Amino acid sequence: MDEDDFVKMVEYLQKKIEYEEESTYSQTVIREYRNPANFGVLEHPDAVGMVKGPCGDTMKITLRVKDGLIRDGRFWTDGCGATIACGSMLTKMVEGKTPEEVSAITSKRLIDELEDLPKEHIHCSKLAVNTLHKAIESYHKD
């Protein structure tokens, strides 16, 4: 295979991957996992949650709470692209909310914000929401 053939093959594979992504995930999911918001871990957070999902992947969420409102949130995961999209969207959804309002967020609500998730990735949204709820529990314990 010469260099031209190699470049063509790479371009073909890239297009194939993009096509598969677009036919599997919503535009919102693709946007969130290609360019996630709030990826990382806050130093000295007010609330921390870490959960390992049934698939073996882990998510960690750290929150900053001030004057009774969530002011900042970060997520970290070693999970799939759908989980990255979930963490990104979820940490955006919590900003400016009270811990009580955040406790009421369900995976269905997260999926609605993401404009749907394929059935085989529903557990990724549950992992994200369970991690968020764990973080809120840790806040209430303090």
Identity of the residue numbered 133:
H
Residue 137, φ and ψ in degrees, nearest 5: -60, -40
How far, in Å, CA of 1 to CA of 8, rounded? Answer: 11
Q: Under a CB-based contact definition with an 8 Å cutoff, are residues 76 and 131 in contact?
A: no
Binding mask 49-78 for ligand FES (x = CB under 6 A): ----x-x-x---------------------
Q: How many CB atoms lie within 10 A of CB 61?
A: 32
Least distance (Å) from ligand FES to the CB of residue 4? 37
Handedness of CA 113, 115, 120, 121 (dihedral sign): negative
- 102-141: which residues touch ligand FES (CB under 6 A)? 121, 124, 127
Q: Which of residues 83-102 bind ligand FES (CB under 6 A)?
A: 83
Q: Using the rule CB under 6 A, which residue among 36, 49, 79, 87 binds ligand FES?
A: 79
Kindly identify the residues of this chain, within the stretch 17-36, that bind ligand FES according to CB under 6 A. Answer: none
Contact of 33 with 105, CB cutoff 8 Å: no
Q: How far is the CB of 140 from ligand FES (least distance, A)?
A: 26
Name the site residues for ligand FES (rule: CB under 6 A).
53, 55, 57, 79-80, 82-83, 121, 124, 127
